[in-house]
Structure 1
Amino acid sequence: MELTEEIAAIREGSGDPARLVGEFRRAALLVPLTLPPHGSGESGGIAHGGLMSAVQGGIRWFYAFTDETALARFAQARGAAHQEWEYLAILGARLVDAVVPMVDGPAGVAVNVADEDGSMLFPPVKGIVPDAYAVDAGAGEVA
């Protein structure tokens, strides 16, 4: 099964969380790059500002999409469908194992956020991000 099918199964109540995380880690995701300031003459990209994200509830959420169509829906929802959107194709595993540890504070991944019935959050918890960066690391442990 691919990631979008696993998300649908979870949302319907019949999915397997471990299988969902496995598909997420194996999926090639499209992560939009931040845009340069208007009129700066710079092109958007990692060197300018990095991967597009937002902070909500004290967590930095990286936007990630399963395909260009889902990314286009996001651009349209932001009123920017007419703009060219540069993106990085990256495995979900690389996003959480290599990018999340570079963030100052907790970070997770928001997949297909413009799809009301097809979005999914992958929060910064054990089993998704490296344990050292999980907000629940140490939770329930007895010293």
Structure 2
Amino acid sequence: MSAEALRQGNLRALVGEFRRGEVLVPVVDGSLLSAESGGIRWLFAFTDVAALERFAEARGEALPERIPVFGARLLDQVIPRVDGPAGIAVDAGSPTGFVLPPVVGIVPDAVAVDVAS
């Protein structure tokens, strides 16, 4: 992911890079690692092993199993299968971490929380 797009606040470029890139998704007990906050399920994804290692270390846990997944697959295929609103927390715990919330333009409209009824 481009730190430059993040610094400039260019969400469209950031989402495009995320969709085209491969990220590491931690797996614990056969499930994708996630956390719930504010009624949203946040799936964790990491841009490299170092970011995932920092996350695990901060939690005092061993480095979890992980699978490489293209960002587009997470957004278009995985997020719609989560029960309730879901977004992606990228590089959680890192200074360059960011979130991709479940809104139009990031996730499919059918599962976006900001779609007008």
TM band (smaller chain): over 0.9
Query: Which whole-Å CA distance do the structure 1 matches of 2:108 and 2:91 have between them?
Result: 22
5+ residue gaps in structure 1? Answer: 36-44
Q: Name the counterpart of 2:32.
A: 51
More strand by share: 2
Amino acid at match of 1:54: A
Contact 1:60 1:108 in 2 (8 A): yes
Q: CA deviation at 1:5?
A: 2.0
Query: Which whole-Å CA distance do the structure 2 matches of 1:91 and 1:133 have between them?
Result: 19
Q: CA deviation at 1:69?
A: 0.3
Amino acid at match of 1:135: V
Query: Which whole-Å CA distance do the structure 2 matches of 1:28 and 1:93 have between them?
Result: 9
Q: CA deviation at 1:18?
A: 1.0
Q: Does 1:20 align with 2:14?
A: yes
Equivalent positions of 1:1-143 (< 5 A) are 3-6=1-4, 9-10=5-6, 12=7, 14-35=8-29, 45=30, 50-80=31-61, 83-115=62-94, 117-138=95-116
Contact 2:55 2:93 in 1 (8 A): yes
Q: CA deviation at 1:4?
A: 3.9
TM-score (norm 2): 0.93
Task: Encode CA deviations 1:24-70: one digit per residue, 9 max, x unaligned.
Answer: 111101010013xxxxxxxxx3xxxx100000000000010000000
Percent of aligned positions that are identical: 53
Q: CA deviation at 1:127?
A: 0.5
Q: CA deviation at 1:15?
A: 3.8
Which is greater in Rg?
Answer: 1
Q: Name the counterpart of 1:38.
A: none
Query: Which whole-Å CA distance do the structure 1 matches of 2:115 and 2:21 have between them?
Result: 25
